[in-house]
Amino acid sequence: MRLSGKKIVLGLTGGVACYKVAELTRALGKEGASVQVVMTQAATQFITPVTMQALSGNVVFTDQWDARIHNNMPHIDLTRDADAIVIAPCSTDFMFKLAHGACNDLLSTLCIARPAHVPLLIAPAMNVEMWQNPATQRNLAQIKADGINVMGPAAGDQACGETGMGRMLEPDQLLTEIIASFQKKTLVGKHVLITAGPTFEPIDPVRGITNLSSGKMGYAIARAAWEAGAEVTLVSGPTALPPPYGVKRINVQTAQQMHDAVMACLNIHMQDVFVAVAAVADWKVANASDQKIKKTSETDTPQLAFVQNPDILALVAARPDAPYCVGFAAESEQLLQYGAAKRIKKNIPLLVGNIGHHTFGQDDNELILFDAQGHKAIERADKQTLASKLIDEIAIRLANNTMR
């Protein structure tokens, strides 16, 4: 639960995207947040306060003159212990109000009345023409200049039947943005390149050799780096995982393709950090067949020959423009000894050891970090928590510039 103890004031304004905010409310609750819903009158035309009360577990406020707050000042009371105010969907009209400091209903008044340390996040949702209108764009520029965090919108099909910019982000994307807003921004301006997942080495057009890597750890690290403010590129072998929000994903199959994609990224833009999480096949089939290999008799078996794949991590670490390189090691025994030796052999400043060899596909894990100073453990946790802690460790080392 990544929002434990957080109180979020969730403001709904008028827009058909209100139906998606029902799901966001549940998702925020599942991450441990307590959600206080406030709705404009227009929002109540799209979804009822009853629904939002049932989903948030808290009474819903819609009226500036609501007498249920003891001092009759809900705009003050509702914001004093809030950790964030999220307006989703945020209508064109509400953007106007925010840009001009209007306070003629409860939601706009509480936005103005919020203490300076309470962040305000908005998820605009409107028709493409309304979004592109110069007046909206003027208000958007003012809102951004005032330090309000604007999430989206996205482009695509709209409820009105038109297509273009103005779709509200999906609930899982908004949740990701909200969680990210609470993370330390330790990698702002940094470029982080990550490999993840297994590779697939063909034997023939329909068969191949792969491994059990799920890609979860690499994807969690990509997300954690993005949450820390980095520009993230993820070179991924075949996995069942959706592309992490905010991250550029390049899909590959073989180790050679992964190598080529990584080198192309390094040549296009200098990278500050390279994290090699992928379970890259050490060998590929030398004599892979262009056609499906036929079973010719009951006793015949194909004879496969192997050649070594490029060691992507070692090759990146050997470049003159090498980023800060982080490797992974999944050993089934003697991790402490093998981990320290592997870090030196690959000539990298940081190597991360997985405890045990049953971590593929699991949601939690335990890590040991090996660097020039020795080793230290990051205790067992879910992979996203571990990934955030690892990114903290990388950011500290990067700031200290200990060997790149």
Interface ranges with ligand C5P (CB under 6 A): 195, 255, 276-278, 280, 282, 309-313, 327-329
Query: Which residue of the set 103, 160, 265, 325 is catalytic?
Result: 160
Per-residue b or e along 377-391, where b marks 16 or more CB atoms closer than 10 Å to that residue's CB: ebeebebbbbbbbbb
Q: Which of 288, 110, 108, 97 has its CA nearest to residue 206?
A: 288
- Burial 75-90, CB ≥16 within 10 A → b, else e: beebbeebbbbbbbbb
Determine whether 160 is an active site residue: yes
d(CA 351, CA 344): 9
Q: Which is nearer to ligand C5P, 162 or 282 (CB)?
A: 282
Indicate the residue among 354 and 385 with the shorter CB distance to ligand C5P.
354
DSSP 264: H
Distance CA 295, CA 301 (A): 8
- The residue type found at 346 is K
CB of 399 to ligand C5P, least distance (A): 23
Show the tokens assigned to 72.
């009759």
> Closest CB to ligand C5P among 329 and 394?
329
Contact 347, 326 (CB under 8 A): no
Nearer to ligand C5P, 87 or 280 (CB): 280
In the three-class reduction of DSSP (H, G, I as helix; E, B as strand; rest coil), residue 368 is classed as strand
Work out how close the CB of 250 gets to ligand C5P at its nearest, in angstroms, rounded to a whole number: 15
φ, ψ of residue 224 to 5 degrees: the values are -65, -40
Tokens linked to 333: 């025994």
| Minimum CB distance to ligand C5P, residue 207 (Å) | 21
CB of 359 to ligand C5P, least distance (A): 13
The tokens for 362 are: 């699991």
Token pair belonging to 274: 């390279």
Structural tokens at position 249: 């994903």
**Closer Cβ to ligand C5P, 37 or 351, answer by number:** 351
Question: Looking at beta carbons only, is 30 or 319 nearer to ligand C5P?
Answer: 319
> What is the closest distance, in whole angstroms, from the C-beta atom of residue 238 to ligand C5P in the complex?
15
Measured distance CA(112)–CA(99) in Å, rounded = 10
Q: Quote the least distance from Cβ 294 to ligand C5P, whole Å.
A: 31
Positions marked active-site = 160
